[in-house]
Amino acid sequence: MSSNLLSLPSELLSQILARLPMRSLLKFAETSRRAHFLANANLHTLSLGIHTLSGSSEVSKHPYDVWLRIPDAHTYDYMTLLSFQSALLRSILLRHDSVLQTVTLSIWTLTTKTAEAIARLIALRSLSIRIEGGAYGLNVPRSHMAIERVEQRKAWSLLSSKAVWRSRLYTLRLENADLNTEQLVDMLRETRCCAELWLSWCRFVGKELWKFLGEWRGNRALRVLGLAECGGVLSEATLGVIGGLGGLQSLNLYDCKGLDSSLFEACNRDIWHIVELISPKMIGDGKDMIIEVDPEYEQEM
């Protein structure tokens, strides 16, 4: 069967392979040298998560096509593990740097070597990075954590200034990333086709983001905008910026604070007409709440 399949024209094979999930594509690559070449040429999407702990119940819940688990990770020095992650990612990304269009990563931290490799992905259109935190489950000296934070700041600066794909970026999703507003703006400024921007727990991205979104020449292309615990405190000026995002179809501001959710709902009903709107939560939500406890439960305790 393999010989019959490989006898097809390369153009037709590329159409077939382009529809295969990553696991199937990698298995196909193992069948022959030509299959390996064709599979590499059609590896347009990389979805990779790296977990430091073995035996975790979370391993079965991950959303990544490839989920790398390091057995007995606690027996290794943290900096050794970090070097391994950086070398592995750099090797994978540079091997496919001319064909990767979508990259989704779950990593412990962003290093300069990894950032250099991501910056060279000439076909990249969609980038999603989740920083898990390498210290999870490990005893890491504070000095190492300080070095990691400095390294991550350098990595984001490199990515925001050197990435060859900045003018063609279509989707950007970042979670727990320690980039600042200026770095984010530099990453987005050149693109006129970014349709999705999602930021979660990017603590150094402040209210200046809203000013950029209002002035950005590419803001009309934005279809999905989500901010969680970043973007500063919302103000009335924010309402005007949102009104200027004429193509917006989905807006999620649930974890933002500063304005009453009813104000957003009224603006959407009368002015914006955004199809999917999740308003900011009320300041104080979840605080000073009265919880009733069953007396029988108290007795059991």
Q: What is the tens place of the pLDDT at every residue in 199-254?
A: 999 999 999 999 999 999 999 999 999 999 898 889 999 999 999 999 999 999 98
Residue 70 phi/psi, 5° resolution? -100, 110
Q: Mark whether 182 and 67 lie in a shared domain.
A: yes
Please check whether residue 290 lies inside any domain of the structure.
no
Please check whether residue 92 lies inside any domain of the structure.
yes
Please check whether residue 66 lies inside any domain of the structure.
yes
Dihedral sign for Cα atoms in the order 262, 202, 216, 168: negative
Q: Mark whether 181 and 274 lie in a shared domain.
A: no
Task: Report long-range pairs for 219-223 (Cβ below 8 Å, ≥24 apart).
Answer: 219/244, 219/245, 220/245, 220/246, 220/247, 221/192, 221/193, 221/194, 221/195, 221/247, 222/194, 222/195, 222/196, 222/197, 222/247, 222/248, 223/195, 223/196, 223/247, 223/248, 223/249, 223/250
Residue type, 240: G
pTM: 0.82
Cα–chain center distance at 188: 14
Q: Mark whether 52 and 121 lie in a shared domain.
A: yes
pLDDT per residue as tens digits for the range 180-201: 999 999 999 999 999 999 999 9
Q: Mark whether 182 and 216 lie in a shared domain.
A: no
Q: Mark whether 21 and 88 lie in a shared domain.
A: no
Q: Mark whether 139 and 115 lie in a shared domain.
A: yes
Structural domain boundaries enclosing 214: 206-285
Please check whether residue 295 lies inside any domain of the structure.
no
What is the number of structural domains in the chain? 3
Please check whether residue 115 lies inside any domain of the structure.
yes
Q: Which residue has the higher pLDDT, 193 or 293?
A: 193
Provide the pairing of β-strand 196-200 with 250-255.
Answer: unpaired
